Chain A
Amino acid sequence: AQRVTQVQPTGSSQWGEEVTLDCSYETSEYFYRIFWYRQLFSGEMVFLIYQPSFDTQNQRSGRYSVVFQKSFKSISLVISASQPEDSGTYFCALSERWTGGLSGKLTFGEGTQVTVIS
């Protein structure tokens, strides 16, 4: 069964610093994707970035990037030049077996609450 773990319940950084959030997962599948979402204080869930298992290149999107360590089943989200607006709770989520129109359903970690101090 799939499982996602985020061991850092909270974190903080100063404005402009780089923030790294860690996530580990369990899966027996070869093909999967890891997604990162941010939950705003309003509760809104915002998609940030995802990493496909078959892609050896770490994905980047704006100030977000990931460090993907497939052999360790670990992935980190890196936020460069953090800003107070980046504050919120960050969730890592695993999606398996999306091919052929299958579910794409997500298994979420517990989240890491980040505060960026100005």
Chain B
Amino acid sequence: EAAVTQSPRNKVAVTGGKVTLSCNQTNNHNNMYWYRQDTGHGLRLIHYSYGAGSTEKGDIPDGYKASRPSQENFSLILELATPSQTSVYFCASGGLGGGEQYFGPGTRLTVL
């Protein structure tokens, strides 16, 4: 039973449109993270959260917003999508102790 799920798994959006990527975790972890992975690269942190109601900027936050309405849910929002945001997006959850993170299956986003 997958503990971190993401929806949608695939998304095609138009330039200038709004995109919301959703993540749900059943690990009861306080921390959640959004990363993007571009071809041939490692993951880069966009936003993260310590718990419900909190969001923090990661290393590449420009053009993205995040929302953490509950312990289980963490969303990534692209208000005005651009082709440069075409990527694979991963959500992860992790405990307070900073141990390993558990990743969702990823969302492949294409912005045309």
A residues with a Cβ closer than 8 A to B are 4, 33, 35, 37, 42-45, 47, 50, 91, 93, 95, 97-99, 101-111
Q: For B31, what are the chain A residues with a Cβ–Cβ distance below 8 Å? A: 103-104
Closest to B41 in A: A110
- Within 8 Å by CB of B42, from A43, A98, A109, lies A109
Partner of A45, one of B30, B45, B48, B90: B90
- Among residues of B, the one whose C-beta sits closest to the C-beta of A89 is B42
Q: Which of A33, A37, A110, A111 contacts B98 (CB 8 A)?
A: A33
Q: Judge whether B56 and A103 touch: CB under 8 Å.
A: yes
Chain B interfacial residues counted at CB < 8 A: 30
Chain A's closest residue to B4 (CB) is A45
In the bound complex, what is the Cα–Cα distance between A47 and B92 (angstroms)? 12
How many inter-chain residue pairs (CB < 8 Å) link A and B? Answer: 66
| A101, B101: Cβ atoms closer than 8 Å | no
CB closest chain-A residue, reference B96 = A101
**Which one, B43, B48, B99, contacts A108 given CB within 8 A?**
B43
Q: From A43, A91, A98, A111, give the contact of B105 (CB < 8 A).
A: A43
Residues of chain A within 8 A (CB-CB) of B43 are: 45, 91, 93, 106, 108
Contact B42–A102 (Cβ < 8 Å): no
Give the residues in chain A near B64, CB-CB below 8 Å: none
CB of B65 closer than 8 Å to a CB of A = no
Which residues of chain B are within 8 angstroms of A50 by Cβ–Cβ distance? Answer: 99-100
Contact between A101 and B30, CB atoms less than 8 A apart: yes
Q: List 5 A-B contacts (CB under 8 A).
A: A43-B88, A44-B103, A47-B100, A98-B99, A105-B33
Contact, CB under 8 Å: B101 / A106: yes
CA distance in complex: A106, B23 (Å)? 18
CB distance from A5 to the nearest CB of B (A): 10
Q: Which are the 6 A-B pairs with shortest beta-carbon distances?
A: A98-B98, A108-B42, A104-B98, A45-B103, A47-B100, A43-B106
